[in-house]
Chains A and B, each alone.
Chain A
Amino acid sequence: MSYLTHADLGGQPGHGRVVPEPEGELFHATWEPRALALTLAMGATGAWNIDMSRAARETLPEYARLSYYEIWTHALEKLLLERGLLRPDEVEAGASAAGPWPALPRTLQAADVAAALARGAPTARPGPAPAFALGDAVRLRSGTVPHHTRLPGYARGRRGTITAVHGPHVFADAHAQGLGEQPCPLYTVAFSGSELWGGEPGAARLTVSIDAWEPYLERAS
């Protein structure tokens, strides 16, 4: 099955300059905070996990032309539709069709919001001992990945150094596919600017780090 992400933007040319924004400017339309809250509240129900939502967002065919909260809203609808929690005609009508509708593992009530946010969703787990150690030279796996992954394209096939060993974490690639958490060791891997971008002027005196799960790594000589 082919999997196409539109979100792997690191290093892509042609996107122009960054437009800074004042610190207090959080939303740009009244629907944006509602879209944010709907996404968080549905995320808290356990109907899907965060890696599934990232996969739903990055595979939206219209990703590049949508604003970020539009991406969240479209992906929220997609996740609901896929699970039979929503029918397309309901959004059109602005009203719920006759049930019964599937029950969810839990729902987020107003009184529980503060505790739920404070708890968060830590991803550290017991799991296998790390195969790599601080200072090891590694090469990131190359080639395309047929499912959601957190290995950015610009780092694939590149040689880096382990600069931190974090212990096992929920493996995003497996989690996004509904294959369980499959915790595996997580590392920070640092690349020199020249390894990634050759002699480009922007790459001088530059180090770029990514956080990479063990299955992304091979030992480099």
Chain B
Amino acid sequence: MAGMAHEHSHDGRHDHDHDHDHEHEHEHEHEHSEIGPMDLRVRALETVLAAKGYVDPAALDVLIDTYQTRIGPRNGARVVAKSWCNPVFRDWLLADATAAIASLGYSGRQGEHMHALENSDTVHHLVVCTLCSCYPWPVLGLPPTWYKSAPYRSRAVRDPRGVLADFGVVLPAETEIRVWDSTAELRYLVIPQRPAGSEHLNEEQLAALVTRDSMIGTGLARSPEAVA
């Protein structure tokens, strides 16, 4: 599947439309510019809804830009790093995650009611939404494709160790796994364990060790050696 790295920015999209016949000639070398049925369908929908005044195309651009550049897993990584460095913040996060996270400026849509789950030597947390794709957007951004997929949603509640193995994660046999199925409007953020050998790092350096997957529970925080 193609990544967005090769796509034009959405700002250039309307110009891009005028060029699409020209681009079509180069389809063989730029397979990602191929105009498929879903491109046409979504474009038609946008045209119709904008013509009726139901959507503001500029608002669509702002929404996309927000989730591409401002709201993503680096937000959550800062929350985790602060909880590792600051015991007062950590206690607040575990007691009232919504308020503690909002104090760093992350709040709102799909994060209105947050709960933090702290991993330990004996307990590992894993978050899923078996019924759809509920996910803590203000701290993690948009969910990855696998999080919304049938393999993850079906197996996370039944064979979480098998799911972790798909991510290359093997936990000690005696570790208890707690799976949280996001069936209402509560959203869960996993606080991974602080990696060994990270004692000398500051908050910003620690945040770089916190991966998106470690905050869902399908990964662990990276070791300082792996990042160096």
Residues in chain A within 8 A of chain B (CB atoms):
7-13, 15-21, 23, 25-31, 33-38, 40-42, 45, 54, 57-58, 64, 67-68, 70, 73, 76-77, 80, 85-86, 90-96, 99, 101, 104, 107-110, 112-114, 116-124, 150-152, 154, 166, 169-170, 172, 186, 188, 190, 196-197, 200, 202-203, 205-213
* Residues in chain B near residue A116, CB distance under 8 A: 109
Q: Are the C-beta atoms of A205 and B54 separated by less than 8 Å? A: no
Q: A23-B213, A28-B4 are in contact. List 13 more A-B contacts (CB 8 A).
A: A10-B157, A15-B150, A18-B167, A26-B4, A33-B64, A37-B63, A38-B46, A95-B44, A101-B52, A107-B55, A207-B178, A208-B181, A210-B181
Q: Are the C-beta atoms of A23 and B73 separated by less than 8 Å? A: yes
Task: Using A11-B154, A34-B64, A208-B157 as known contacts, say yes or no to A110 and B132 having CB atoms under 8 A apart.
Answer: no
Q: Are the C-beta atoms of A85 and B132 separated by less than 8 Å? A: no
Report the Cα distance A209→B13, complex, angstroms.
44
- Listed by A's residue number, 26 A-B pairs whose Cβ atoms lie within 8 Å are A10-B181, A11-B157, A16-B151, A18-B149, A23-B212, A27-B7, A29-B38, A30-B32, A38-B42, A38-B45, A41-B59, A68-B149, A73-B41, A77-B45, A91-B48, A94-B47, A94-B48, A95-B51, A117-B109, A150-B184, A152-B131, A169-B185, A203-B158, A208-B181, A209-B178, A211-B183
Q: Are the C-beta atoms of B1 and A123 separated by less than 8 Å? A: no
Q: Which listed residue, A15, A92, A108, A166, touches B186 by the CB 8 Å rule?
A: A166
B71: nearest chain-A partner, CB-CB = A117
* Residues in chain A near residue B10, CB distance under 8 A: 33-34
B42, B44, B47, B133 interface centre (most CB from chain A within 10 Å): B42
Q: Which of B80-88, B137-145, B192-200 contacts A (4 or more CB under 8 A)?
A: B137-145
Report the Cα distance A16→B149, complex, angstroms.
10
B142-186 interface bits toward A, Cβ cutoff 8 Å, 1 = contact, 0 = none: 101110111111111111111100110000011111111111111
A167: nearest chain-B partner, CB-CB = B113
Q: Which listed residue, A11, A95, A122, touches B158 by the CB 8 Å rule?
A: A11
A115 to chain B, nearest CB (A): 9
Q: Are the C-beta atoms of B142 and A26 separated by less than 8 Å? A: yes
Q: Are the C-beta atoms of B184 and A172 separated by less than 8 Å? A: yes
B58-85: which have CB < 8 Å to A?
Answer: 58-64, 66-68, 71, 73
B172: nearest chain-A partner, CB-CB = A205
Q: Are the C-beta atoms of B154 and A13 separated by less than 8 Å? A: yes
* Residues in chain A near residue B213, CB distance under 8 A: 20, 23
